[in-house]
C-alpha cells in the first residue's frame, strides 16, 4: 500500500518519527517483561494489518533481552474481521489469516498488539475472537498510539504514545513491512486532516 494522498485541510504532520517508534517499542518490550516478571508463557498476538509487524518487532526486542525466547515461537496474528460489530455498516472486507503460535494460547499471557487505540471496538472484537480460540490466563493490550475517544470501557496496559486528537483528524501509522513512500520504506506516525 502506498501512502495515500494528504487529505484536504491541514497538512499531515509527523508526530512519531522512526527513532521515536523504535524507542517506544523498546520501552514497551521492557514493560511487558517487567509486568510479566520475565518471559514465562508470553504470547504476542498482532491485529492485522499493522499490529502484526509491531508484534514481531516487540518479540524481537524481547528475544534480545532474554535469549531463551524464540521471537517467532511467541508471535501470532489474530484476525478480528468476523467479530466486528460494524460489519453490516461497512462494505464487506475479506478476512485475513489468524495464525497462533504452536503452543496455542491456553493458560498463556496473551498481549494483544495494535497500532492505534481509538474507539476500543477492535479490541472488543479481539477479545471475542480470543474466547473462541482458547482460554488465556491473562490478556493484556499494547498499542503504539492511544488517541483517546473511547466508546467502550477498554484501556491499554502498554502505550507507545498518548496522542490527544480531534475525532476529525486521522492518525496513520506507516511501517516499513507494509508501507512505502515513493518506493522507499517508511516508519512514521502522521496526523492528517482536522480543522
Partner 1 sequence: MKHLLSTHDLALPDALRLLDTAEEMAAVGEREIKKLPALRGRTVVNLFYEDSTRTRISFEAAAKRLSADVINFAAKGSSVSKGESLKDTAQTLEAMSADAVVIRHPASGAPARLAASGWIDAAVLNAGDGTHEHPTQALLDAFTLRRHWAKVAGTGSPGSDLAGMRVLIVGDILHSRVARSNVWLLKTLGAEVTLVGPPTLLPVGVDTWPCTVRYNLDEALADRPDAVMMLRLQAERMNAAFFPSTREYSRRWGFDDARLAALDTLGLGDTVIMHPGPMNRGLEISAAAADSVRSTVLAQVRNGVSVRMAALYLLLAGGTHDDPAAPTVRANPALSPTKEPAV
Is 118 a residue that touches partner 1 (CB under 8 A)? yes
Alpha-helical regions (H) of 43-175: 51-65, 121-133
Is 15 a residue that touches partner 1 (CB under 8 A)? no
Report CA torsion sign: 80, 93, 7, 46: positive
- Locus of grid cell 514481531: 56
Is 153 a residue that touches partner 1 (CB under 8 A)? no
Is 144 a residue that touches partner 1 (CB under 8 A)? no
Other Cβ atoms less than 10 A from the Cβ of 31: the count is 15
Window 32-71: contact mask with partner 1 (x via CB under 8 A): ---------------xxxxx--------------------
User: How many helices (DSSP H) and strands (DSSP E) are in the chain?
Assistant: 3, 10
- Locus of grid cell 509527523: 14
Q: Report, in Å, the least distance between residue 38 CB and partner 1.
A: 29
**Is 5 strand, coil or helix?**
coil
Is 147 a residue that touches partner 1 (CB under 8 A)? yes
Window 160-189: contact mask with partner 1 (x via CB under 8 A): -------xx-xxx-----------------
Residues 154 and 178: beta-carbon distance below 8 Å: no
Footprint on this chain of partner 1 (rule: CB under 8 A) = 1, 7-9, 47-51, 79-83, 86-98, 114-119, 121-122, 128, 132-133, 147, 167-168, 170-172, 193-194
Amino acid at each position: 500500500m502506498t501512502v495515500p494522498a494528504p487529505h484536504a485541510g491541514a497538512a499531515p504532520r509527523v508526530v512519531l518519527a522512526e527513532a521515536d517508534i523504535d524507542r517506544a517499542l523498546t520501552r514497551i518490550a521492557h514493560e511487558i517483561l517487567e509486568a510479566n516478571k520475565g518471559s514465562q508463557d508470553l504470547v504476542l498476538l498482532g491485529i492485522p494489518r499493522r499490529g502484526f509487524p509491531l508484534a514481531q518487532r516487540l518479540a524481537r526486542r524481547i528475544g534480545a533481552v532474554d535469549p531463551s525466547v524464540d521471537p517467532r515461537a511467541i508471535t501470532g496474528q489474530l484476525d478480528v474481521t468476523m467479530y466486528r460489530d460494524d460489519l453490516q455498516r461497512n462494505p464487506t472486507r475479506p478476512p485475513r489469516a489468524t495464525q497462533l503460535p504452536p503452543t496455542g494460547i491456553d493458560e498463556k499471557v496473551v498481549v494483544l498488539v495494535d497500532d492505534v487505540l481509538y474507539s476500543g471496538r477492535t479490541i472488543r472484537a479481539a477479545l471475542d475472537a480470543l474466547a473462541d480460540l482458547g482460554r488465556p490466563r491473562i490478556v493484556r493490550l499494547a498499542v503504539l498510539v492511544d488517541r483517546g475517544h473511547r466508546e467502550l470501557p477498554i484501556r491499554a496496559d502498554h502505550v507507545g504514545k498518548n496522542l490527544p486528537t480531534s475525532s476529525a483528524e486521522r492518525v496513520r501509522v506507516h511501517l516499513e513491512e507494509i508501507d512505502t513512500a515513493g518506493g522507499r520504506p517508511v516508519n512514521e506516525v502522521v496526523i492528517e486532516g482536522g480543522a
